[in-house]
Chains A and B, each alone.
Chain A
Amino acid sequence: MASPPRSTVRFGSRRLPISPGRSLLEALWNGRLPILQRSIRYHRPRAPFCGVGQCTQCLVRVNGVPNVRACRYVPGDGDVVETENAWPSPNHDVLGALDLLLPGGIDTLRGFRRPAFLTPLYHQVVRRLSGYGRIADRPGGIEPPAARRIETEVAVLGTGIAGAAALSTLAEHGIASVGIDTSPIAAVRPGVAMLSGTTVAFLPPPRPEVDRPWRLIAVEGRRRGVDVRARSVIIATGGYDAGLWFAGSDRPGVVTAEGALAFTEPNRAPFFRRAVVFGGGERAAEILDRCGPQVDAVVAPGSVSPELTEKASALEVPLYPRTLLMAAIGRRRVRGVRLRSRADGAEFSLETDAVILAHRRLPHPQLYFQAGAEMEWRNAGGAYYPKLGRGTATSQPGLFGAGEGAGFVGTAAAEASGTAAAMQALGEEPPSLANLGRVDAIEPNEIEGYYRQLFAGRRPKGKWIVCPCEDVMLTEIEEAHERGYRGIEVIKRYTGVGSGLCQGRYCLPDTLLLLARLEQRRPTEVGYITQRPPVTPLPLSAFAGLPDESEPTGAAR
């Protein structure tokens, strides 16, 4: 009996099978991390890195639409997929020679000025190299899809542990609420209204004069605008795994812990045969749980937690505490890592085909900043968190923070903070949140001291790309400092760091620490980038379909 024809996408001359509800990245998977594009300035090979739709490293062209993130796109039968910014292919790209010919990079700020008669030609050539994808082949529908309008009592942003706890509590009290989550398969429980596959783009400060002071703009399925009005908002957007700077840190095979988990699903062999895990705590232990047999070594920036020590010893995985990750060896793919002991400076290499960054979790602070909530710097996390008053209350009335992004670390704390936020949104006294895991209570991640030592020592050869979206090098930030530019706002404009498609998620936290060291100031004195909408790049058509502020809003839930 013939089986029904499988759905496929077209990728070059090939047809690749797709599974319902699964991402395009899975269809493009070829047993290891696929190199889908070249970087913007130096055409360095790039493979998927974060697995959660934040980085710039799996952009492809789908049905003539540029810059689609393969890890976030669910393909349909017959979709035509093409690669971008590479010729003839991302694996063998002619312009990749630029990277080899220019080991010190291109000085776009001071170069290409002389001789004057050649300047227009330089500009034409450099301009041809800019950008990722070509403009879309066709209009994407001139009439924008009309936005959904939702009026509710409480909007819960993020439906992980904290958000789900908040929504459950609200449902038990019979309060109209809606959960919003970027995951297309997010669901809390029957009876809880959900907007899944929906990204909150913009949460402006509240307008106290209206009935529902909070108006937030979200985008559903990367296409349709959603205009939500709420009396209260609970932010439970969680955190993410940080990147790390070393020579070749942008090489294919270097992934975040989230990436490693996303790319290593239970029903699929890992993309690596042997991996080096970087991290000394809970997150590194999680990686050992999931793909322990393939892990060759655990390298920790500082000390190693007892739990991780125990797991590593059970798996007979060697541990390298207090060790600097200096360089990724290998050009098109990671073949090994160069390490240096922080204690005695001894250098050594390990062979590996993956580096998994599991050393540091960072909160998503964007929506708090946008909403005008007061923020505070926490040394332990090395990041900004909302300043909380009673329970989960932020400085903005009607805005509550729960879960990891608000500094509540661990499952129990996330759940309790979600419940507390829901109670406070109802106007009730929250249960005590004392004695719960707060970010201040966790072991300092030692990243500040780590970088101090890393930058002070002799550096291995190779570009240190600190902003993979814009191919900004570490030396460019240092030069800006030497020329007298101070503060992160100015360094951002001088170097381009933080202005790329990931909105600075993988470069700004470390830039802040670097500048604090260079300027010999506290990180808070270095300043912070104003968090601009949208939180992540979202299409013009979705915003075009939003209603006018003056238009009446109906309950359309």
Chain B
Amino acid sequence: MTRASRDRYPTVIVGAGIVGLFTAYHLARAGGGPILVVDRGFLSGGASGRNGGGVRQQWETTATVRLARESVDAFRRFGREFGYNIWFRQGGYLFLAESPAELERLRRVRSVVRGEGLDARELTQSEIPRYINGLELDGVVGGTFLGSDGTLYPFPAIWGLYESVRSLGVEVLLGSEATGVATANGKVVGIGLSSGSVSTDAVVNAAGGWSSELTRRAGLAPANDATRHEILATEPLKPFLDPMVVRLSDGLYFSQTMRGEIVGGLTVAHAPGTARGMPSSPNFLRAMSRALTQLVPRLSSLGILRAWSGFYDDTPDGLPLIGEDPRLPGFFQANGFGGHGFMLAPASSRRVAQAVLGEPTDLDPGLFGPGRFRDPGRTRPVERAQLG
């Protein structure tokens, strides 16, 4: 197995997904010294290569809207900055409500989003066909739409970052698993790797679905936990669908990729934990097919091309963990994104890098700080994953 080239790195990042690579990029640009990124699997083998490519700015908390808006700007620049076209297409996000309570929730989101200067609109049932044709709207009472939301093709973002960080001198070690975190005097001093240990002052936990396990291996109780979610893609069709569509009641989401496939899933967890791998299930194929063909009956004769699954890394309040873990100085959390890590990565990773460099960030530790769950009252959802 390939070993790291040095014995010591100021920073070791665990996870070569979008969050880990973006963090490495920001650190390297800031002159953060030799950086090592390790990943237990292959490039794009985790959620960064398994997500539906959605990028939205409609959130329940102002702080998240700001992270999302900054990330949208970063995705717009991505091609010029990193040399890869990620096919970021701002076709909008259309949320559908089927009850007055759901509509009320969307209205609250809309007012938060508008408060940040984004043009989120409320749609009546009869206005929806202007944005997408062929929906069976019985039961839909209305929705919201934000045209600057969109979708992208996740893989090239990984290639662009991978090549950029390597040209900045970052070492990326694939197929190397973090086995433990070495501490002395209550601080991080090193990390154990399946390819051999190295010493370091800072470990960034950007391991996505496996990050709660890494926290455990650092001797801490994790606040987050992984759940398995399934997703599918259909045969490619000529373009007919511009926005990402999300139905609040069951979390059905789907969009059409640049290649013409319909890609989507249901925001329901299919199994807890990472222990049983990433299989697909007959029940998901059934539930997803029912939900999709009920809302878009003209898709019913369309073939399913393939189904797969990946992990959401969930926290009790639906907000990510960003920053140094107060229980272990030198251990930085960059996880808990609950299935939204890709879309929030550019802005979140910049703040992770700031934290590692000891710079102040603009994040409210009460909302994003890894220490916030010491307050026993903090288990109620603040951002609900069910939004999409």
Q: Chain A interface (Cβ within 8 Å of chain B)?
A: 40, 65-67, 108-114, 116, 119-120, 123, 126-128, 130-142, 144, 202, 204-205, 215, 217, 227, 470, 483-487, 489-490, 493-494, 496, 499, 501, 503, 527, 530, 532-534, 537-544, 546-549
Contact = CB atoms under 8 A, between A and B. Distances in A.
B83 interface: yes
A426 B280 CA distance: 30
B100 interface: no
Contacts of B79: 112-114, 116, 119
Nearest to A546: B286
A142 B136 contact: yes
A548 B108 CA distance: 35
A134 B237 contact: yes
A404 B134 CA distance: 46
A532 B42 contact: no
A132 B80 CA distance: 30
B279 to A, nearest CB: 7
B295 to A, nearest CB: 10
B87 A123 contact: yes
Given A136-B298, A144-B300, 4 more contacts: A66-B301, A130-B236, A484-B163, A537-B303
B239 A130 contact: yes
A540 B305 CA distance: 10
Contacts of A142: 136, 293-294, 297, 300
Given A113-B80, A202-B285, A501 B235 contact: yes
Nearest to B134: A135
Interface residues of B, number: 57
Given A490-B43, A541-B300, A135 B283 contact: no
A547 to B, nearest CB: 8
A484 B159 CA distance: 10
Given A133-B238, A493-B49, A533 B307 contact: yes
Contact of A132 (B89, B155, B163, B260): B260
Nearest to A483: B163
A543 B297 contact: no
Given A130-B239, A134-B237, A489-B42, A546 B282 contact: yes
B298 A137 contact: yes
A135 B261 CA distance: 11
A537 B285 contact: no
Contact of B289 (A136, A532, A544): A544
A139 B80 contact: no
Contacts of A116: 79-80
A538 B304 contact: yes
28 contacts: A66-B235, A67-B303, A109-B159, A112-B79, A114-B80, A123-B87, A132-B236, A135-B240, A140-B301, A142-B136, A142-B294, A144-B289, A144-B293, A202-B282, A487-B42, A489-B42, A489-B44, A490-B44, A494-B155, A501-B303, A527-B42, A533-B280, A534-B285, A534-B306, A538-B303, A541-B300, A543-B288, A544-B300
Nearest to A535: B306
Interface string B42-79: 11110001000000000000000000000000000001
A109 B288 CA distance: 30
A530 B237 contact: no
A532 B159 contact: no
B239 A127 contact: yes
Interface in B333-388: none
Q: What 3 pairs between A and B have smallest CB-CB spacing?
A: A131-B260, A537-B303, A139-B297
A456 B374 CA distance: 63
Contacts of A109: 84-85, 156, 159
Nearest to A142: B297
Contacts of A227: 282
Contacts of B80: 113-114, 116
Given A135-B240, A546-B282, A546-B285, A537 B300 contact: no
Which DSSP category, helix, strand, loop or mixed, fits chain A's interface?
Answer: loop
Interface of B: 42-45, 49, 79-80, 83-85, 87, 89-90, 134, 136, 155-156, 159, 163, 166, 174, 234-240, 258-260, 278-283, 285-286, 288-290, 292-294, 297-308
A539 B303 contact: yes
A110 B285 contact: no
Contacts of A67: 235, 237, 302-303
Nearest to A488: B42
B282 A217 contact: yes
Contacts of B278: 530
A46 to B, nearest CB: 15
Residue with the greatest number of chain B CB neighbours at <10 A, chosen from A67, A134, A541, A543: A543
B291 to A, nearest CB: 9
Contacts of A539: 300-304
B302 A136 contact: yes
Which DSSP category, helix, strand, loop or mixed, fits chain B's interface?
Answer: mixed
B297 A140 contact: yes
A123 B89 contact: yes
Contact of A217 (B83, B134, B285, B303): B285
Contacts of B89: 120, 123, 127
Contact of A541 (B43, B90, B301): B301
Contacts of B303: 67, 501, 537-540
A144 B294 CA distance: 9
A343 to B, nearest CB: 40
Nearest to B83: A110
B234 A540 contact: yes
Residue with the greatest number of chain B CB neighbours at <10 A, chosen from A112, A126, A534: A534
B258 A126 contact: yes
Contacts of A120: 89-90
Contact of B259 (A131, A546, A549): A131
Nearest to A107: B85
Contacts of A131: 236-239, 259-260
A548 B285 CA distance: 11
Contacts of A144: 289-290, 293, 300
A549 to B, nearest CB: 5
A527 B41 CA distance: 12
Contacts of B260: 130-132
Given A112-B85, A485-B43, A544 B134 contact: no
Given A134-B238, A532-B308, A544-B289, A108 B280 contact: no
A102 to B, nearest CB: 16
A134 B85 contact: no
Residue with the greatest number of chain B CB neighbours at <10 A, chosen from A40, A215, A540: A540
Given A539-B302, A540-B299, A544-B293, A113 B85 contact: yes
A421 to B, nearest CB: 24
A532 B238 contact: no
Contacts of B259: 130-131, 470, 496
A78 B108 CA distance: 53
Contacts of A215: 282
Contacts of B307: 532-534
A446 B330 CA distance: 55
Contacts of B84: 109-110, 113
B292 A540 contact: yes
B138 to A, nearest CB: 10
Contacts of B294: 142, 544
